[in-house]
Structure 1
């Protein structure tokens, strides 16, 4: 018998060696890993080649997310596998196939692959300290190309259109890397690096930090990978994968409890090592949060259209109609863990984690006697006697003891470091505001109601003034109680409010209606418009990649600065604006400024022309700049002025929006710093005399005109139905046997249904004998039960009849057609036709053939899983937009947010656009805080409307329907001035005397 090792033994040995390589350079030794994870799986073979990730997983997923084309009605769910395969099914199949292959060819330890597939969820590997610019510099040096060459400039200025580069790559750094590397690859075919080797090098890269240590590692990648491999590697380093599937989908296919375990632990390692066996299920305490294990916290839903709607989502009952109102804090979400520990000085050990699972214990302290703690050394008295362990949820904010006020977000870490160094100074300090208790003395409280959790919090915690405080709340029972508190929020310039349902449990990593954010909105803009000079430009990314998509505006200095030696054209940075530009506006901006832009050189900033905030840090640094004499003046409007250290003026505009180019003005007539400060002072004085009014009415659910009842002609000429709309011929030539009444969506008796069918061209019969007769039923009566037992015919719900007629009315002027049956239309489906109608809706049950109502759309949203076709995480997208609210302008559903609009003589499809895009379409000119009236310029009602609105305190803008259509086409709300139907100045007394304005 040979002494040579067998192939299996060789594979096992290689797998052990590879595992040691992967896990031998981390924070824990192999012995420590075995101790902490005694049952962790071990692979029997080496990991797959790195390129298999994108060849068999990423690329197929990205191909799958491409939308099918073709007529909507005829389109069926399809994908690479042909008709009948929904994109969601194909996506799951691709992932499942990869996981199955890994188990078979490698083993049950999939952690090495998951670290690269969802790198943004890997908390075990430290951040690399590498952004696009740093990576670009490293690659330029590694490829040994001249930093002034075209390719080097294309990398270093990746947002700019390339000199000889594909415009599609502008704004896509990884794509730009692929483009440049492809010209000088060390390999033209995929390399031989395994997933384990890539992980080992990435671990080294994460601890290298300094460029001289990082460069050799990047060189190894460059010599062993081709251009496509390096492109995906760059995405992993930047943690911007977008592979066509979310981690929720990947977790769910790996193990049914994977998402839950990640939510309670924030540990990708645990998800892979504890749930490698699909037959094993988490039970009992293993499904809940645990001490010293960071979890994913509950999040608040975004504001809804009306206060009443938000209050209704609190699920009030007659016995308990109460909801809670808390101030929304402007800080960093933080969870505090405390437990008994004899080895920690003071007897208690602390842990602090942010919402993104970053460990901040080093900053706030690990114990009561931690001399380097910014918080824990001050809070021993906060924990009442008997508290052995606890987990708190709250917000860490910056507090200014001198002003006794919170400091705006962005200064927290600086304040904490200062407190570490000088713990008893009167400088800014961190303050922890606690609003929830989730764990107390070995009991998981997330399954208890918020009211019970609050009781536990009050029993266990006492506030320490301006160090650790229990966050206050107010009880309320009606929407009217919210407005006064919002007024206080406006007066105090704080973040807003959060409504909470005291009957709700704590739901990890969910953004649901149990908590809802409410932010104030002001009813007056800061002036009509500000005429400011454009001094800088920013290249866009994605769809706006390759050209300037937003601009920096500045305020020119006044004569007193010029007398002191300043350049007369010098400007201070003031604000950035990117919303409100149409394609024509961009073209005009390019035409007026072409050839006049200068690249911004951080080493030699144009300080004599443009001055930014931050000194050498150059806050809000533009990609290019322009001299005022070569530039243009634009009019911009905004909601308010707010303090900011990011702009040299010390203030900036909140939600600025482009209005128009002022071709009649040059830089000398643009707004100066002194003129703006005078205007600001004047506005503030005026506002002191006014009471801020929050737009509660605007948020009320849009009321709809009641359609008159339609008389149905048939056997009983007096019979009517509550359904409104013209009679159609949609049922011509069809026979119906109606066996029951309709329960929903509109309640109708059997007789009313028969009349309804007749009025729309159908024929009513008294039996089911003819196989072509359509059978209608909504209840399991004797006859219906008999037909179901026979299992030969489909039974259709009355809702299908109503949907067919409604759709026919919407398609007025076009040939009527019957809607295909959808699963929701079937009361019973014969076995022979099971699944036949599934392809008439998408994977979320959204119809391909009929328009949905707002109510149906909300129901669809409720049923949708949190998956997105492009692989992005919806919760993360919303969070990012919430942090940068001006970016919401680019969302079609936000375009007319904040408007209250009355429409006259307007096509229904335009009204639907307004409503879909966030506008509040009302049916009366008498509505309070009406902001716009949309009316054709040749409307017979125009004179009447002008007279009606001229007496209002705040006259709404009267615009033509082109304002709606053009804004929708440009995907941004255009300024109203372009489509304005101007109202001449008119004396109110004359109007009241009966003289109509012209």
Structure 2
């Protein structure tokens, strides 16, 4: 053992000499290239100071409870009493930066490269993931690959052996468990922050394991286990220390974040803004040519279309907004400048939203023979354009289908285009929607409308290469809904609503750009029931347990026996599960999971995408006959080669466990194909019906509908001839019985219609036929899917007859629809119905009876002004286009608007209510109210508010029936839940399915 240690120390000493030589050469190069950079007067701090005085204190502060009713913390090691976690966090960072300035100097760049490594664009990627690092550490430690330590690192998401789950899902934590028992030193090493940076520079410049191994041996010889753990987190760029780069930038310099937004350069932030008293001026704060910036992003839709448009400050003189299709590609910025020193006289640069340089892929000039795009752009720029910066989306375009191909194929298409520049398959196309710089002039301070004029005057479309992205001018929410239906039909990403009067805001999500995505699909029914066939272990707080599941469809290839049936992989689902769902799955499948062996896959049970390539390979699998069935909902179905079915669900979300079903009764491959075919056929029929109806309207020909002569249902009142002529010339199709205000079966409703001049038919092909129903069987659901007509409640029939009897002078007076008359309303009818009553629900056209007036007074809401201060928390945006809310409890209720019912009181409680009553139910409602607000949700005191998404009911259920009646007439009926739904969503950090929390 001693000899092994001596050999390691000798190797480390030789490597140390090499490292010192490398540092000296690198410093000379920096002084030559950056003569004005700040210089430190002393050595950088020891590497271990990063985690002892910064990372660990920040993590401890992050772990403190930060709930909505948290008491202020007492005196602690990192700050005085009465400081919030945010203030404590700033104090920790301020102390570290102040210490650096005093003990080291003004060049904090070496420290920031390790503190926020994901923002360091100057150091290339290491090409190392968890498994690669694990293999290197096994060789460094010289341990058996089959040992518990090696198994734990290689299978870091899986529970450890001997039934332990310690650090499962946390790779760096797993490495620490292995390293602490085999560390070369027990105390921190002597490496400084500068030393570690130089070694990481060398590590990023190599890609072969035999070259990386000596560097890791050097780290291991000079660092203890905790230092190695943080080093691994830096390499993986997975810090999660409880503070974002915004906090560090704000404390370092007031303009640091602004400079990073326009340059994406951590080095510039540190070297140009080392003096907090010197501020950026003029052109220094704008975008510049050949300098990557952080682009403006689209806000997530949190409100109704009315609310979205109101935030764009439309006026009577200018009420226009723009609608663009949201593209499924990669956000890209193109910089072009005329440069006679390069071939072709034009130089290009491409950067992604995360500041990754893609010039090597798309080209640096007009004569770049290795480019996938620029060689085709000779005619793209109009005369007089010397330089320009374009903002847009790089998409994959199918030349065969003449359609956009999903985003995952973009790089493959670009590489293919490099080899075959005129290929007829897939190619990258740059869709431009903004111009930010033109002929030495930054345009970010100009309005979108002016920037668009500059774009159109500077760019010529190059078909299937570079194109200006079209937009549509609109002035009403109806136009948004129309366009959204179109993108749903085309399986597109969604829409982006833009304010043409807005300026361009770097690295910002705001209400000037709002993206609207389609709701979950309904053409295949509300949910799909599929069998779980595989599982994936999670990371973070889900570490050591299965956090997502692979679901499949049974492919019948013979008689009904499992031996001749194989399940084809269909989709992965991991969202929407609560702790009790995971517990239920664990309990019912315990001992049934088998580790997936890539060398011996269970082909007799499960087939994956790519077959032998084993796409989306699970960590473990389960025999389908021993498994469970889950119900999921999704946004759409999309083609893919990653799953064996050759299609998959987009954005699948768990809804519930179907314990009443097994593998035999779950959805099959053929069953899904039938659903898919029926949905497509129904859509096609709808188009044909629309064409036929247009033709019929043009010829103005009418065909007398078929009259149904009788029915098998018992009729209590025989037909006695017309009583009024109110329904004369009208045709009805009765789908269900009447439930209120008086119960009548279908036969009685049909006789009532005929008695008042109407006709009855057995189907409803013509759009002019009125469909009557008081509940939602399959036939009504089919009409709702098609959305070609409204479904009217029998209440409208009763009201029309009553009004005609009351006014003998107008025997054929048809009442206009009111919200209470519609079981389901198409947009036109729904808008009309909303305009036929006042804000209290009183009808403009129907006489009010004494009983009706009493009911109106009973349900009339208390009118309150909207509280604009309900949203008490804002969260810094994440890098990704889709924010991962898993670690951000402050975003759990983003977009949720809640009405809290307190039994006899209709208002949301204040603090003094709790103090005065002390009742458990009121305390529960008070806590739930604050949790919603803290989670970026909004509370509302008016049940008639059209924005309400949820109604929370306390233990007092006296108003339950009345509330259900009041909200049933809304266009989008809010979900009724108990306070347990709020608490469980907060605990699980995700919105859970509401059905299990419905009050009874």
Corresponding residue of 2:141? 143
Q: Would the alpha carbon gap of residues 523 and 429 (structure 1) be closer, same or farther in structure 2, given more than 3 Å must change?
A: closer
Inter-partner Cα distance in structure 2 for 1:88 and 1:592: 43
2:769 maps to what in 1? Answer: none
Give 1:643 deviation, angstroms. Answer: 2.7
Q: CA deviation at 1:927?
A: 10
Equivalent-residue separation in structure 2 for 1:167 and 1:77 (angstroms): 34
Corresponding position of 1:855: 868
Deviations 1:80-137 (A, max 9, x none): 3221444444433333332333333333322222211111111111101111121122
Counterpart of 2:600 (choices 599, 604, 609) is: 604
Counterpart CA distance in 2 for 1:979 and 1:311 is 33
In the TM superposition, 1:358-377 aligns within 5 A as 358-377=356-375
Change (3 A) 1:491 1:95: same
* Residues 36-47 of structure 1: pairs in structure 2 closer than 5 A: 36-47=33-44
Q: Does 1:58 align with 2:55?
A: yes
Distance in 2 of aligned mates of 1:297 and 1:633? 43
CA distance in 2, matches of 1:195, 1:300: 38
Change beyond 3 A, Cα 1:672–1:345: same
Quick one: distance in 2 between partners of 1:381 and 1:593? 63
Match of 1:558 in 2: 556
What per-residue deviation string (whole Å, max 9, x for no partner) do you get for residues 906-925 of structure 1?
98639959976899999999
User: Is residue 581–residue 658 contact of structure 1 (8 Å, CA) maintained in 2?
Assistant: yes
* Counterparts of residues 179-328 of structure 1 (less than 5 Å): 179-328=177-326
For 2:940 and 2:96, the matched residues in 1 are separated by 53
Do the aligned residues in 1 keep the contact of 2:901 with 2:951 (CA within 8 Å)? yes
Residue 673, structure 1, aligned to residue 675, structure 2: no
Classify 1:692/1:921 alpha carbon distance in 2 versus 1 (closer, same or farther; 3 Å).
Answer: farther
| Residue in structure 1 matched with residue 755 of structure 2 by the alignment | none
Taking structure 1 as reference, are residues 236 and 677 closer, same or farther at Cα in structure 2, changes over 3 Å only?
Answer: same
Distance 1:175 1:671, change over 3 A: same
1:622 aligns to what? 618
**Cα distance, 1:253 vs. partner?**
2.1
Alignment of 1:900-919 (within 5 A): 909=925, 912=929
Would you say the 8 A contact 1:487–1:692 is kept in 2? no
State the secondary structure of the residue aligned to 2:203.
helix
Greater CA drift, 937-946 or 349-358: 937-946
* Pairwise CA distance, 1:335: 0.7
Report Cα offsets for 1:693-743 as digits up to 9, x if no partner.
Answer: 999999xx9x99999xxxxxxxxxxxxxxxx999xxxxxxxxxxxxxxxxx
Distance in 2 (CA, whole Å) between partners of 1:640 and 1:898 is: 23
Q: Structure with the greater relative contact order (CA < 8 A, sep ≥ 6): 1 or 2?
A: 1
Asked if the contact 1:557/1:571 (under 8 Å) is kept, the reply is yes
Q: CA deviation at 1:447?
A: 1.8
Query: What TM-score does the superposition give when structure 1 sets the normalisation length?
Result: 0.72
Deviation track 1:245-279 (CA, whole Å, cap 9, x = no partner) reads 22122122222222222111111122222222333
Counterparts of 1:931 and 1:84, CA distance in 2: 36
The equivalent of 1:578 in structure 2 is 574
Contact between 1:537 and 1:548, CA under 8 Å: does it hold in 2? yes
The correspondence of residues 883-902 of structure 1 with structure 2, limited to 5 A, is none
Query: In the alignment, which residue of structure 1 is the partner of 2:435?
Result: 437
SS class of match (1:382): coil
Report the equivalent of 2:339: 341
- The residue number in structure 2 matching 1:394 is 392
Match of 1:448 among 443, 446, 449: 446
**Equivalents in 1 of 2:439, 2:547: separation in Å?**
55
Q: Please name the residue that 1:499 is paired with.
A: 497
Range that drifts further, 52-61 or 176-185: 52-61
1:156-175 → structure 2 map (5 Å cutoff): 156-163=154-161, 167=165, 169-175=167-173
| Structure 1 residue 889, shift from structure 2 partner | 12
Shift of residue 459, structure 1, vs aligned partner? 1.4
Q: What is the CA deviation profile of residues 348-372 of structure 1, one whole-angstrom value per residue up to 9, with x for unaligned ones?
A: 1111111111111111111111111
Aligned 8 A contact 1:397 1:409 in 2: yes
Distance 1:525 1:900 in 2: 29
Question: Aligned in 2, Cα 1:440/1:164: closer, same or farther, shift over 3 Å?
Answer: same
Q: 2:318, 2:20 → 1: CA distance?
A: 57
Instruction: Give the direction of change, closer, same or farther, for the CA distance of 1:478–1:108 in structure 2 (3 Å limit).
Output: same
Determine the structure 1 residue equivalent to 2:103: 105
Q: Quote the residue 1:631 is aligned against.
A: 627
Q: 1:270 to 1:965 in 2, by over 3 A?
A: closer
Displacement of 1:540 in angstroms is 2.1
Give the superposition deviation at 1:338. 0.9
- Asked if structure 1 preserves the Cα contact closer than 8 Å seen for 2:127 and 2:207, the reply is yes
**Cα offset for 1:219?**
1.3
Is the CA contact 2:900–2:951 (under 8 Å) kept in the aligned structure 1?
yes
Task: Identify if the C-alpha distance between structure 1 residues 417 and 170 changes in structure 2 by more than 3 Å, giving closer, same or farther.
Answer: same
Q: 1:500 to 1:978 in 2, by over 3 A?
A: closer
Deviation at 1:344, TM superposition (A): 0.8
Q: How does 1:927-938 map to 2 (within 5 A)?
A: none
Q: Find the partner of 1:879 among 873, 878, 881.
A: 881
Alpha-carbon distance between aligned partners in 1 of 2:24 and 2:566, rounded to the nearest angstrom: 57
Q: Give the length in aligned residue pairs.
A: 802
Matches of 1:516 and 1:947, distance apart in 2? 34
Distance 1:945 1:66, change over 3 A: closer
Query: Equivalences for 1:713-752 in 2 at 5 Å?
Result: none
Judged with a 3 Å threshold, the aligned counterparts in structure 2 of structure 1 residues 357 and 48 are, in CA distance, closer, same or farther, namely same
Find the counterpart in structure 2 of residue 487 from structure 1.
485
Matched, 1:416 2:414: yes
Kindly provide the CA deviation profile for residues 442-468 of structure 1, in whole angstroms up to 9, marking residues without a partner as x.
111112222221121111111111111
1:590-989 correspondence runs (5 A): 590-688=586-684, 689=686, 691=786, 855-858=868-871, 860-861=872-873, 874-876=876-878, 879-881=881-883, 909=925, 912=929, 978=996
8 A Cα contact 2:892 2:990, kept in partner: no
Q: SS of the residue aligned with 2:408?
A: coil
Alpha-carbon spacing, 1:21–1:284, altered in 2? closer, same or farther (3 Å): farther
3-state SS of the aligned residue for 1:875? coil
- Ranges in structure 2 where 5+ consecutive residues have no aligned partner: 1-17, 687-784, 789-824, 842-860, 909-924
TM-fit CA distance, 1:430: 0.8
Deviations 1:884-911 (A, max 9, x none): xxx7799685579799999896986399
CA 1:280–1:147 in 2, change beyond 3 Å: closer, same or farther?
Answer: same
CA shift in 2, pair 1:948/1:60, >3 Å: closer
**Alignment check: 8 A CA contact 1:522 1:695 kept:** no
For residues 113 and 603 of structure 2, the distance between their equivalents in structure 1, rounded to whole angstroms, comes to 45
Relative distance call for 1:952 and 1:178 in structure 2 (3 A) is closer
Alpha carbons of structure 1 residues 929 and 60: separation in structure 2 relative to 1, 3 Å: closer
What secondary structure is seen at the aligned counterpart in 2 of 1:423? coil
* Range moving further from structure 2, 160-169 or 688-697: 688-697
Deviation at 1:216, TM superposition (A): 1.5
Q: Give the aligned CA root-mean-square deviation in angstroms.
A: 4.1
- Answer with 114-123 or 46-55: which moved more: 46-55
Aligned-partner Cα distance in 2 for 1:380–1:267: 31
For the Cα contact (< 8 Å) 1:523–1:695, is it kept in 2? no
Q: Distance in 1 between matches of 2:344 and 2:79?
A: 63
